[in-house]
Amino acid sequence: MSSINKSRFAALAAISALFVVTAMARQPNLVIFLVDDMGWMDCGVYGSTYYETPNIDRLAKQSMRFTDAYAVPLCSPTRASILTGQYSARHRITSATGHRPPAKEGISPYPAKVRPAQKLIYADSKNYLDLSFTTLPEILKAAGYRTGHFGKWHLGLMAEHRPDRHGFETTWGCAPDPGPPSYFSPYNVSPDGVPSGQHRVGNITDGPDGEHIADRLTDEAVKFIKAHKNEPFYLNLWQYSVHGPWQHKEEYTAEFARKKDPTGRQGNPVMASMLRSMDESLGRILQTLDELKLTEKTLFIFMSDNGGNTHSWRADDRRIANIKEDHKLYDTVMSYRKWAGDQPPTCNAPLREGKGRIYEGGQRVPLMVRWPGRIKPQTTSDVVVGAIDIYPTVLEALQLEKPADHIVDGLSFLPVLESRGTVQREAYFTWFPHLIPAVSVRAGDWKLIRRWESHPSYPELYELYNLKDDIGETENLAAVMPEKVQELNVLIEKFIKDTGALAPKPNPAYKGPVLDAGLVPKSCAAEVVPGAYRVKADGQGEPFIGNAQVRFSGAIKFNLRARSERGGEIVLRWVNMKGTAGFTDNPSVTLQLPPGNQWHDLEAEIPVDGVSRIIRLYLPADKSPVEIESLRFTSESGEVKAWSFKES
C-alpha cells in the first residue's frame, strides 16, 4: 500500500471510529440531485415563463434558493469539485474529458507540440478523479452511511476510476461519457458489455423497449432509498438530462411545440420535454422521501453542473448527409430539426452566453437546499457560493471532521442555510483554461475576467463588470477602472499560486499571427499588418469580406472599427438559413466610413429573419485600402463572434 493510501486509510478509519463513539441518534440522510446542462433560467422559480417544472418549483418553496451559485462552465470539473471541495485548478480536472483514457504516468500535462499559429501552450485536463483525494462519499461511508451513485459520472473511463473506487457502495449508470449512448432502452448495450461505437458501459442493463433513462435512474434510486430507509444513506442522483443526445418523449414535445414564451426568450420544445422528464424524476424522489417519512431526516441539495447549452445542432444538410449511416444519431438530429429547427437548446438571458463560456450564463446555476427544521423554507440568498462549498457544508451539517491531509478550498455555507451568519470569503474563482481560455474572480458585486491572449471573438484581455448593475455583462469597465482591475488581478495571481494552477506557457514554435480563415476576401487582397486587417481591391469586381461563421438567430448587432484615407460606403448583405435568393435580392444595411487616418467606430443592426448563414461586408477598398482594427457581431441572446487585430 502506498504512503498516500496508508494515510488516507488511517484518516478514514479515524472518522469511522469517531462516528461509532459519538453517534447517539441516526444521522440525517444526504441527497445530491445534480442536473446536467440546466441553465440558471431553466425553471419556473428562477424566471422561465416557458418551461414547466412544478416539482422544482415545489422544492423551492421548501428550500433556501441561491441566486449567485457557481459551477465550472463544463461538467467534469464541477463534479470533481463537489466530491473533493477543491477548485478545478487544484484537482486538475479542468475540462469535460472524463470519458478519455488517462495519460501515461509521468507525462507532462502540457502537450509536447502545438500548431505554430498557437501563441501559448495550455495544459491538458486530467481525465479522472485521482484516488489520492479523500472524497465526500468515502468520508460518509466511513461514518456508517450507505452510499449510492446513480447516473452520469464522467470522472474516469477505466474501472479503477469509477464511482465504486471513490466510496460508493451501490452504483448504476452508463459509461462515464458526456451523455448516455441512448436515452431510450435498449441502451446500445451488447451482450459482452460494450455498446456500439467506442463506448464502454458501467453496470447499466436494458429495460423494456422505449423506457426513458431518466425514469429508469429514478426507479433504481428509489430502490436504494427503500433498501436503506432504516439507516443513514447518501444518494447521488446525477441525471443525464438535459445533456445531448437530444432524445425526448415526443408526446411531451408536441405539447410544448404549441406553446409560446411571452418573453420571447425561450421556446425550444425539445429542451422543455427533456426538462419535464428530469422534473418528474425529482418529483418521484421527493414523493418517496415523503412516503417513507424521511423528508425531515434528509439534507437535500439540488444543483446543475454548468450553465445552459446555447449551441444548437446546427443541423445543415451537409452534416445530416455525413451521419446517415448512424441511424440512431440521424433520427435524433432529424427529430431535433423537426421540433426545434435551428434553435439552440436554451437561452440564459439576461445572463450572457452559456455552457463552455466563463460569462455568467456559463457558470451561474440554480442551487436549492432543503432541510426541514434546520433551513427556513421559501427563503432566498444572494451569498456567493459554489460547487467547492458543498463538501465542507455537508461535513459541518453532519458533524463530521474534514480529513487533515486533504486540502479543501470551499467554505461551509451552513451558517447561511441556518440564517445565523454568512460566508467569510474574499473572492470566488473560476479556472477555465479551455475552449476560450480564461480565469475569473467574483468579489462582491465585481467580476473580472482575465484572458492570457486575445481571441477573435473576445479581443479584450481584461473584462470588468459590476454584476449588481449589469448582470448581462454588457459594459466592460476595465478601461475606465484600471485600479479595480489591478485589485482583482492581484487576487487572481494569489489564487494561481495557492492552488498550483497550471498556467499557459509560451509556444517556442510560434510563428506569429495568421489570418483567421473565417474571414474570406473576395475581389480584394487582405493581409494582417501591425494593428489591423488591411483590405485592398484587386480590380476583379466589387471588393468584400465574407464569412459563414456568424450563425445567429434574429437581429444581430454589428460593430466595426475601421479607417480609410478616402472613406466611402460600407454595405452589409446577408442570407439566412431559410433564404434561397442571392445577396443582391436580400435587404442590406449601409454605413458611412469618414475619410482620413483616424479610427472610426461604426454600429448597425442587421435585421436577420431566421438564422444568418453568410454575411458579407462590402468595402470601399477600390478608392483606397481599408484597415479594420476590429469587427464584432452580437446576437440578441448575447452570443458574440468577433475579430480583433489590435495586437497583431
Contact 302, 63 (CB under 8 A): yes
Report CA-CA distances (Å) from 504 to 109, 122, 228, 437, 510: 11, 5, 47, 9, 14
When mean pLDDT is compared across 4-18, 172-186, 251-265, 390-404, the lowest value belongs to: 4-18
Average pLDDT over residues 97-124: 90
Looking at the structure, tell me whether residues 580 and 636 fall in a common domain: yes
Beginning with the edge strand found earlier in the chain, give each strand of the sheet holding 612-618 in spatial order.
Answer: 520-522, 544-547, 612-618, 568-576, 588-593
Looking at the structure, tell me whether residues 36 and 95 fall in a common domain: yes
Average pLDDT over residues 618-644: 89
Assigned C-alpha cell, 528: 494582417
The 3-state DSSP class for residue 441 equals strand
Looking at the structure, tell me whether residues 304 and 190 fall in a common domain: yes
Average pLDDT over residues 392-404: 96
Q: Which amino acid is at 170?
A: T
Looking at the structure, tell me whether residues 359 and 246 fall in a common domain: yes
Looking at the structure, tell me whether residues 477 and 626 fall in a common domain: no
Which of 449, 478, 505 corresponds to the end of one domain?
Answer: 505
Instruction: Look at the block and give the residue holding cell 451521419.
Output: 323
Assigned C-alpha cell, 302: 439540488
d(CA 344, CA 362): 14
Q: What percent of the chain has pLDDT over 90?
A: 69
User: pLDDT tens digits, residue range 488-526?
Assistant: 999 999 999 999 999 999 999 887 655 555 788 888 888
Residue 4: pLDDT above 90? no
Which of 565, 540, 542 is CA-nearest to residue 626?
565
DSSP 3-state percent helix, strand, coil across the chain (nearest 5) = 25, 25, 50
Looking at the structure, tell me whether residues 629 and 481 fall in a common domain: no
Assigned C-alpha cell, 276: 419535464
Instruction: Identify the domain containing residue 284 by its residue range.
Output: 3-100+122-310+345-417
* CATH (domain of 493): 3.30.1120.10
- The pLDDT, as a whole number, for residue 87 is 98
d(CA 368, CA 373): 16
Whether 322 is in a domain gets the answer no
- The pLDDT, as a whole number, for residue 194 is 44
Q: Is 6 exposed, middle or buried (0-12, 13-18, 19+ CB in 10 A)?
A: exposed
Residue 642: pLDDT above 80? yes
d(CA 8, CA 166): 12
Instruction: Look at the block and give the residue holding cell 480609410.
Output: 564
Whether 515 is in a domain gets the answer no
Average pLDDT over residues 293-322: 83
Assigned C-alpha cell, 222: 428509489
- The pLDDT, as a whole number, for residue 187 is 83
The pLDDT confidence band at residue 199, using thresholds 50, 70 and 90, is very low
Average pLDDT over residues 414-421: 97
Whether 329 is in a domain gets the answer no
Which of 505, 536, 559 corresponds to the end of one domain?
Answer: 505
Q: What does pLDDT average to over the chain? A: 89
When mean pLDDT is compared across 197-201, 522-526, 546-550, 617-621, the lowest value belongs to: 197-201
Residue 371: pLDDT above 80? yes
User: pLDDT tens digits, residue range 545-554?
Assistant: 988 888 888 8
Average pLDDT over residues 527-540: 86
DSSP 44-83: GGGT-SSS--HHHHHHHHTSEEEEEEE--SSHHHHHHHHH
d(CA 110, CA 124): 6
**What length does the chain have?**
648
Whether 285 is in a domain gets the answer yes
The pLDDT confidence band at residue 313, using thresholds 50, 70 and 90, is low
Contact 620, 550 (CB under 8 A): no
Average pLDDT over residues 200-204: 65
Contact 188, 211 (CB under 8 A): no
What total of structural domains would you count in the chain? 3
User: pLDDT tens digits, residue range 568-589?
Assistant: 999 999 876 544 344 545 678 9
d(CA 170, CA 413): 28
Whether 636 is in a domain gets the answer yes
Looking at the structure, tell me whether residues 7 and 149 fall in a common domain: yes
Report CA-CA distances (Å) from 24 to 13, 37, 136, 143: 19, 40, 22, 13
Average pLDDT over residues 591-600: 93
Residue 460: pLDDT above 90? yes
Whether 596 is in a domain gets the answer yes
Which of 360, 384, 417 corresponds to the end of one domain?
Answer: 417
Pairing of β 64-70 and β 385-386: parallel
The pLDDT confidence band at residue 198, using thresholds 50, 70 and 90, is very low
Looking at the structure, tell me whether residues 146 and 177 fall in a common domain: yes
Whether 422 is in a domain gets the answer no
Pairing of β 120-121 and β 505-506: antiparallel
Residue 628: pLDDT above 50? yes
d(CA 313, CA 484): 40
